[in-house]
Amino acid sequence: MEDDGKVKAGVNTDMSNEKILVTRASMPPYEEYIEAIRPLWESHWITNMGQYHRELEKKLKEYLDVPELSLMVNGHMALEMAIQAFDFPEGAEVITTPFTFISTTHAIVRNHLQPVFCDVKASDGTIDESKIEELITEKTVAILPVHVYGNICNVEEIQRIADKYSLKVIYDAAHAFGVKYRGRGIGNYGDASVFSFHATKVFNTIEGGAVTFSEHRLYERLYNLKNFGIRGEELVVSIGANAKMNEFAAIMGLCNLKRVSTIMDERKELWQQYQDRLSNIAGIKLFYSHSEINKNYSYLPIIVDEGYELSRDELYRKLREHNIYSRKYFYPLTLDQMCYKNKFKQDNLKVARNLANQVLVLPLYSELSINDVDKICSQIG
């Protein structure tokens, strides 16, 4: 079956001399997309909340099993708009994690808010809920945790803390497309969740993103934020940005959405093979998988600890020599990046620092074959 996948994708079956990258954007068959965009040449309606924008919003709402959803031009703007929608006072504090893509921290800072970094758990890389309360001050307004690699935060405990201190909860769910917890779409937790549909994510609209939420009032607010606050030909009601998804992207999403379950099934097989091959290698650890979660098999992070024969960086280089391009997601921690160096408190981030120094994300995408996975694993142990 892995060979079928390759013939379909037009990829050489012999991968020995080809680079294996950490991911590969999934694309619908060329003809399918071309047929699907044809009507745009009749209507000339190629952006501004057209038919396909509205249709994708509706379909994603169903797929993600959420009451409300607003489509955005990308995940980062979705995150910025989601934060802005709550009108927090300037300089207020948001408790978040540094073990994430830089976008999470940027979105807080670009909203003129102060990120306060909480450590994560070694078991799955998500925010350590037992350390949140000690970071709360009079200025705290929100918690912004990340479902990193599609591993789900302790949503119940986070909600309990938020309720106790009247804080908002905004999840960065960029990695968690289609993940369900106890049978419920992950976008139902907190006050809002943000998804990314970037080319490298498990479901893509080339570039794209969405905010999910339950309070209907937020739909209007986000609509205004993503479309200049324009509500009529001569009427601007609020100060908005431009963060709309265009019709070409929405159609890509509609095409990819049809195949996303199949893609996840294909990923699951590869993911399982990795688990089987890697689970007994000294010094290689895999993250804990919660049994009540329907995973999306979006990433394959491994922890290379002291018990392994090579350091994380040595393994990274060794794989590269064999044309296998793993990635150190997420090293360095966001607050250690040049633009943030020494700007924020660094206390008690030992687990996050350790993870950042030991984590390696291995290639995982539906067109990879079981043979490729075996080849990658053979280089590891």
Ligand X SMILES: *Cc1c(COP(=O)(O)O)cnc(C)c1O
> How far, in Å, CA of 270 to CA of 369, rounded?
7
Interacting span for ligand X (CB under 6 A) from 168-176, 259-267, 281-289, 370-378: 168-176
In the complex with ligand X, which residue's Cβ is closer, 273 or 326? 326
| 209 part of the interface to ligand X, by CB under 6 A | yes
Residue facing ligand X at closest CB distance: 75
Per CB under 6 A, the list member of 23, 97, 104, 334 interacting with ligand X is 104
| 244 part of the interface to ligand X, by CB under 6 A | no
Beta strand spans in the chain (E): 68-72, 93-96, 114-117, 140-144, 168-172, 180-181, 184-185, 192-196, 209-213, 230-232, 235-236, 284-286, 293-294, 300-304, 359-362
Q: What is the nearest approach in angstroms of ligand X to the Cβ of residue 83?
A: 12
**How many residues bind ligand X, per CB under 6 A?**
15
| 253 part of the interface to ligand X, by CB under 6 A | no
In the complex with ligand X, which residue's Cβ is closer, 194 or 315? 194
For the chain, the maximum distance between any two Cα atoms, rounded to a whole number of angstroms, is: 67
Per CB under 6 A, the list member of 26, 100, 111, 256 interacting with ligand X is 100
| 75 part of the interface to ligand X, by CB under 6 A | yes
19-29: b (≥16 Cβ within 10 Å) or e: ebebbbebbbe
> How far, in Å, CA of 379 to CA of 70, rounded?
43
In the complex with ligand X, which residue's Cβ is closer, 76 or 277? 76
> How far, in Å, CA of 247 to CA of 256, rounded?
14
Interacting span for ligand X (CB under 6 A) from 57-65, 73-81, 84-92, 355-363: 73-81
> How far, in Å, CA of 141 to CA of 95, rounded?
8
Q: Return all residues near 106 (Cβ < 8 A) that are at least 6 apart.
A: 76
Closest CA to 72 of 181, 233, 213: 213
| 99 part of the interface to ligand X, by CB under 6 A | no
Q: What is the nearest approach in angstroms of ligand X to the Cβ of residue 117?
A: 15
Q: What is the nearest approach in angstroms of ligand X to the Cβ of residue 84?
A: 15
The token pair that represents 144 in the structure block: 């912004």
| 146 part of the interface to ligand X, by CB under 6 A | yes
In the complex with ligand X, which residue's Cβ is closer, 155 or 380? 155
| 26 part of the interface to ligand X, by CB under 6 A | no
Helices (H), 65-177: 75-84, 102-110, 155-165
| 114 part of the interface to ligand X, by CB under 6 A | no
| 180 part of the interface to ligand X, by CB under 6 A | no
> How far, in Å, CA of 119 to CA of 348, rounded?
7
In the complex with ligand X, which residue's Cβ is closer, 209 or 380? 209
Look up tokens 């002291």; give the residue.
306
| 198 part of the interface to ligand X, by CB under 6 A | yes
| 103 part of the interface to ligand X, by CB under 6 A | yes
Residues at the interface with ligand X (CB under 6 A): 74-76, 79, 100-101, 103-104, 146, 172, 174-175, 196, 198, 209
